[in-house]
Structure 1
Amino acid sequence: MSNTRRLELQGFRGLAALSTVVFHVWQQYYVYDAQGSHPPLDNPYLGALISLEVIDLFFVMSAYLLTLSYARAAIDGDDRTRPRRDFLFRRAARILPLYVLAVLLVWSLRNPSLPGDWRDLLEHLTFTHVFDQQRIFYTLGPTWSLSLEIAFYLTLIAVGPLAIRVCRRLRTRRARVLLCASGCAALYLAPVAWIAVAHHALEVPYTNWPVYFGPQARLGGFAAGMALAVLLVALGERGRVGARTATALAVTAAVGLYALSYHSAPENTWHTYYHPLAALLWFALLYATLHVRTTARPRWHGLLRSGWLTGVGLVSYSLYIWHEPVMLALYDSGALPRSQAGFPLAVLFVVAAGVLVAAVSYWVVEYPGSLLVGLRDKKGRPREFYPEPDPVRMPVPEQQPKPEPAAR
């Protein structure tokens, strides 16, 4: 992937992270109702914009980036996939140092006397809190989504190598593409079926969080990202769209996302299937970003590559982890307004403080943790480090004559 495309995806991460912060400040001031609907605002149009959940964008982007190598290996035989252990090691180095530190710190502050809520700590450290109706949003509320990330990693290293092996037996490229696309479709439709049965047949309420927040209900976002990787590998350089087409597709997807948020209310179809539908619209928006002719980039791509936005995207994981504890600390200390009228000012305070804390967290914790990846070589084996020879104390090896070049 070109550096330009990486910057654009990083810009999306920045926008999504900022939107998430605003959304959670909104939740702090406008509480959910008993049916689990979005908090009300006097202006329903503004409410629809703020409540436009972007978690599915994170899922689609993550799945797209991690599935690319598997898609290339399965469809074109360009196998640069990493061994399972190396893949998991790299993901752990990316996620765990900051996550474990934040969980231990926040949990200890909220449980000053031992043993405290030890079950909450155990579930967060094992990424199983998403299955606990009571504790799913404890300690670090937004990190329920990391449980889904872990579930996706395990799914990918199970189905990815299997797809590669099966595709090697197929003679035509079209057949390989069809097999991969069919697998993505199955992974997308399975959560839709789960949601349909849970809501329509079993009448499970939306506030049963593990049922509708667990991987069995949210894997569709990752499946959409996998399908995007398969589609772009299958197309290659073909079908790249121009600036006008990309802009039209992006606007259509954005309007669709806004309409989905506006019309989403308890007990209606839009609310029930909000996340599978949102994943498809994010799929379309990312397609309009990634599969554009390099000679005709739309102007809005420039916004995604802007320095301030990609800077937020760089620290987006830290911002995602820390913004809720920062918000609650500011609120409890009285630094934030108490009335709903102070919501806009609270957003500014939390965004500013959150980005500052995230920047420090990135360079102090997240970036050093990412250096652990260098401990393994390209084949996933522990890298061996040898000291450079001392030219004074160690003899210089005898120079061997160079062989004559072979005749052409």
Structure 2
Amino acid sequence: MSAEAAPARNRASAIDGFRGLAALSTVAFHVWQQYFRYDAEGAHPPVDDPALGAVLSLEVIDLFFVLSAYLLTLSYARAAIDGRSTKPARLFLFRRTIRILPLYVLAVLVVWAMRNPTLPGDWRDLVEHLTFTHVFDRQRIFYTLGPTWSLSLEVLFYLLLVALGPLAVRACRPLRRRGSRVAVCAAGCAALFAAPLAWIAVAHYVFGVPHTDWVVYFGPQARFGGFAAGMGLAVAVVALGDRGRLGPRTALPLAGVGLAGLFALSLDSGPENFTFTFYHPLASLLWAGLVFGTVHVRQQTFWQRMLTARWLTTVGLISYSLFIWHEPVMLQLHKAGLLPVGQSGFPLAMLIVFAVALPVAAASYWLVEYPASLLGRLKDHRGRPREFYPEPATR
């Protein structure tokens, strides 16, 4: 392997490591929610240690948003800032479609059919999930596949990106100074980040909308800050270039600040305080800083070596399947009486869910995700149908 290829491969493996950590944390978080007890005295978490509870209850959906926006915005940032070419929108959307739709549609149909054994069932729930509009339904937002409300935002972000990305490229093309092009891209990302902040502030402090109004606080108008942070990260990486890569003395403290900040947010997330209200925009910035201090480095750091461990990158490979199937697995285990009851059963329940969900996710990846990904070869780099020629006959 060449000297240039090794760092690139390490950075890609680190992204897979992030995905693996996020997927594992998502499973732990939802088991945590399952064992949270509410009574007249309030909420009681299944772990008495506040520090351990903060780790287990850390929400990582913003990391998924940041990673997705960062990776998908890079090509547009390079085109806008350095004049490189971009892939056609149709190719981008085609590859995104084959990436998420086959597994998602299969899971929605299977889980919905299990929960609606007689027709017509809750047909509106099925239609909303298949059209990614359940995030706008306060009642059904968490039906069928609860965590997939975030996929609705992903799909909307794809459409936003293919609309705004080319506009940014055109706006930057007449600008001669590279710094001006960087400023235009950065300003656009800042505006996209500020809009959800303003929405949340007005909704909470002006109109007093409760945090349980899911459509208000889970919709794109409130959660697109995570994507904007990832877009800003892509702009920063391209703007700094290889010369701006961080050394270990800068990268490790930056990653440490990100981790410490995320831990503090999770620890201090009372339902009515400032950090709770603006938890997700703040978390997005911290995740962006953490990712930046991990991938934009000159040499591999201790933190990057942890993320690139084989077992973690393997989980990252199947992370989408794990994200899709872990909740139905958990609920089926609970329905079958295979999970211990009571708050004291939380640690064992988490191990059981992991023990079942990980093999299910691995099977799902190899049987559904990977075969679907091969469809990407049907189009070339310009988005045109690829021609396949038969092998010449040999004697």
**TM-score, normalization: structure 1?**
0.92
SS in 2 for 1:238: helix
| Alpha-carbon separation, structure 2, partners of 1:184 and 1:266 | 29
SS in 1 for 2:121: coil
Offset at 1:300?
A: 2.0
Q: Go from structure 1 to structure 2 and tell me whether the alpha carbon gap of 1:316 and 1:91 turns closer, same or farther (over 3 Å shift).
A: same
Say which of 129, 132, 148 aligns to 1:127. 132
1:46 corresponding residue in structure 2: 52
Contact 1:37–1:265 (8 Å) recurs in 2: no
**Contiguous gaps of at least 5 residues in structure 1:** 393-408
Say which of 142, 158, 168 aligns to 1:163. 168
Offset at 1:385?
A: 2.4
1:207 corresponding residue in structure 2: 212
| Alpha-carbon separation, structure 2, partners of 1:221 and 1:382 | 34
The runs of 4+ residues in structure 1 deviating greater than 4 Å are 31-34, 36-41
Offset at 1:276?
A: 0.3
Q: Does 1:25 align with 2:31?
A: yes
1:310 corresponding residue in structure 2: 313
SS in 2 for 1:371: helix
Contact 1:56–1:282 (8 Å) recurs in 2: yes
1:405 corresponding residue in structure 2: none
Contact 2:10–2:308 (8 Å) recurs in 1: yes
Q: Go from structure 1 to structure 2 and tell me whether the alpha carbon gap of 1:25 and 1:170 turns closer, same or farther (over 3 Å shift).
A: same
2:4 corresponding residue in structure 1: none
Contact 2:37–2:43 (8 Å) recurs in 1: no
| 1:12-161 pair list within 5 angstroms | 12-31=18-37, 39=45, 41-79=47-85, 81-161=86-166
Say which of 255, 266, 273 aligns to 1:261. 266
Offset at 1:31?
A: 4.8
**Residue type matched to 1:71 in 2?**
A
Offset at 1:237?
A: 1.5
| 1:356-395 pair list within 5 angstroms | 356-390=359-393
Flag the structure with larger Rg.
1
Contact 1:318–1:361 (8 Å) recurs in 2: yes
CA RMSD in angstroms comes to: 1.6
1:346 corresponding residue in structure 2: 349
| Alpha-carbon separation, structure 1, partners of 2:379 and 2:244 | 38
Say which of 236, 239, 245 aligns to 2:244. 239
Q: Go from structure 1 to structure 2 and tell me whether the alpha carbon gap of 1:203 and 1:37 turns closer, same or farther (over 3 Å shift).
A: farther
Say which of 180, 184, 191 aligns to 1:186. 191
| Alpha-carbon separation, structure 2, partners of 1:75 and 1:32 | 52
| 1:215-254 pair list within 5 angstroms | 215-254=220-259
Offset at 1:64?
A: 0.4
Instruction: Give the aligned length.
Output: 388
Identity %: 68
**Residue type matched to 1:130 in 2?**
V
**Contiguous gaps of at least 5 residues in structure 2:** 1-6
Offset at 1:328?
A: 0.7
Answer with 376-385 or 127-136: which moved more.
376-385
Offset at 1:38?
A: 9.0
**Residue type matched to 1:233 in 2?**
V
| Alpha-carbon separation, structure 2, partners of 1:33 and 1:285 | 37
Alpha-carbon displacement from aligned partner over 1:337-358 (angstroms, at most 9, x marks no partner):
0111110001111011111000
SS in 2 for 1:293: coil
Answer with 189-198 or 259-268: which moved more.
259-268
Offset at 1:387?
A: 2.4
| Alpha-carbon separation, structure 2, partners of 1:3 and 1:250 | 20
SS in 1 for 2:215: helix
SS in 1 for 2:375: helix
SS in 1 for 2:120: coil
| Alpha-carbon separation, structure 2, partners of 1:376 and 1:298 | 37
1:401 corresponding residue in structure 2: none
Alpha-carbon displacement from aligned partner over 1:323-379 (angstroms, at most 9, x marks no partner):
000011111111110111110001111011111000000000000011111111111
| Alpha-carbon separation, structure 1, partners of 2:99 and 2:202 | 36
Offset at 1:42?
A: 2.6
Say which of 328, 347, 365 aligns to 1:325. 328
Alpha-carbon displacement from aligned partner over 1:157-201 (angstroms, at most 9, x marks no partner):
010000001111111101000000000000000000110111011
Alpha-carbon displacement from aligned partner over 1:123-150 (angstroms, at most 9, x marks no partner):
0000000010110000000000000101
Offset at 1:267?
A: 1.4
| Alpha-carbon separation, structure 1, partners of 2:9 and 2:102 | 26
| Alpha-carbon separation, structure 2, partners of 1:185 and 1:216 | 15
| Alpha-carbon separation, structure 1, partners of 2:234 and 2:45 | 35
SS in 2 for 1:4: helix
Contact 2:46–2:344 (8 Å) recurs in 1: no
| Alpha-carbon separation, structure 2, partners of 1:37 and 1:69 | 45
